[in-house]
Amino acid sequence: MTETIAGEITAPRTAKDHVRSAVKHVALIAVSLVMVYPLLWMIVSSLRPTEVIFRAPGLWLNELYVENYSEGWFALSQAFDWYLVNSAIVVSGAIIGNLISCSLAAYAFARLKFRLRGLWFAIMLMSIMIPIHVIVVPQYILFNAFDMVNTFLPLVLPKFVATDAFFVFLMVQFIRGIPRELDEAATIDGAGHLRIFGQVLIPLMIPALATTAIFTFIWTWSDFFTPLIYLTSPEMYTVPVALRSFLDATSGSNWGAMFAMSIVSLVPMFLAFLFGQKFLVKGIATTGGK
Partner 1 sequence: MSALSELSKLKSKGPVTAEQRAARRKEASHDNKAGYLFLLPWLVGLFVFTLGPILASFYLSLTDYSLIQSPNFLGLDNYARMLTDDRLHQSLQVTLTYVGVGVPLQLALALGVAVLLNKGMRGLAFYRSIFYLPSMLGGSVAIALLWRQIFGTTGLVNQILQLLGFEATTGYVSDPDYALWTLILLNVWTFGSPMVIFLAGLRQIPTMYYEAAALDGASRISQFARITLPLLSPIIFFNLVLQIINAFQAFTQAFVVSNGTGGPSDSTLFYTLYLYEQGFTRFDMGYASAMAWLLLAIIAMFTAVNFLLSKYWVFYDD
Residues 69-128 that bind partner 1 (CB under 8 A): 100-102, 104-105, 107-109, 112-115, 117-118, 120-128
What is the distance between the alpha carbons of residues 244 and 35, in angstroms, rounded to a whole number? 24
Binder to partner 1 among 14, 15, 16, 35 (CB under 8 A)?
35
Amino acid code (one letter) for 30 = A
- Tell me how far apart the alpha carbons of residues 254 and 259 are, in angstroms, rounded to a whole number: 9
CB of 53 to partner 1, least distance (A): 8
DSSP label of 199: I
Instruction: Pick one of 22, 25, 26, 74: the residue that binds partner 1 (CB under 8 A).
Output: 25
Q: What are phi and psi of 129, to 5 degrees?
A: -95, 0
- Smallest distance, partner 1 to C-beta of residue 74, A: 18
Q: Over the Cα atoms of the chain, what is R_g? A: 24
Residue ranges in 177-236 that form contacts with partner 1 under rule CB under 8 A: 193, 197, 218, 221-222, 224-225, 228-229
Stretch that binds partner 1, among 61-69, 78-86, 204-212, 254-262 (CB under 8 A): 254-262
- 36/206 with CB nearer partner 1: 36
Q: Applying CB under 8 A, which of residues 49, 89, 153, 244 lies at the interface with partner 1?
A: 244
Candidates 134, 133, 123; CA nearest to 168 is 123
Residue 290 touches partner 1, criterion: CB under 8 A: yes
Specify the residue, 89 or 100, whose C-beta has the smaller distance to partner 1.
100
Q: Which is nearer to partner 1, 235 or 278 (CB)?
A: 278
Size of the site for partner 1 (CB under 8 A): 111
Among the listed ranges 65-73, 80-88, 133-141, 179-187, the one in contact with partner 1 (CB under 8 A) is 133-141
Residues of this chain, 141-180, that bind partner 1 according to CB under 8 A: 141-142, 144, 158, 160-163, 165, 168-169, 173
Among 84, 89, 96, 135, binds partner 1 (CB under 8 A): 135
| Least distance in angstroms from the C-beta of 36 to partner 1 | 6
CB of 214 to partner 1, least distance (A): 10
Binds partner 1 (CB under 8 A): choice among 41, 78, 178, 202: 41
Out of 138, 179, 190, 203, name the contact with partner 1 by CB under 8 A: 138
Query: Would you say 73 and 279 are in contact if contact means Cβ atoms under 8 Å apart?
Result: no
CB 118 within 8 A of CB 211: no
Instruction: Please name the residue ranges forming H helices in the chain.
Output: 15-45, 50-53, 67-73, 80-111, 117-128, 132-145, 153-156, 165-176, 180-188, 193-195, 202-204, 206-222, 225-230, 239-249, 255-288
Instruction: Decide: residue 21, CB within 10 A, 0-12 exposed, 13-18 middle, 19+ buried.
Output: exposed
113: left (phi over 0), alpha (psi -120 to 50) or beta: beta
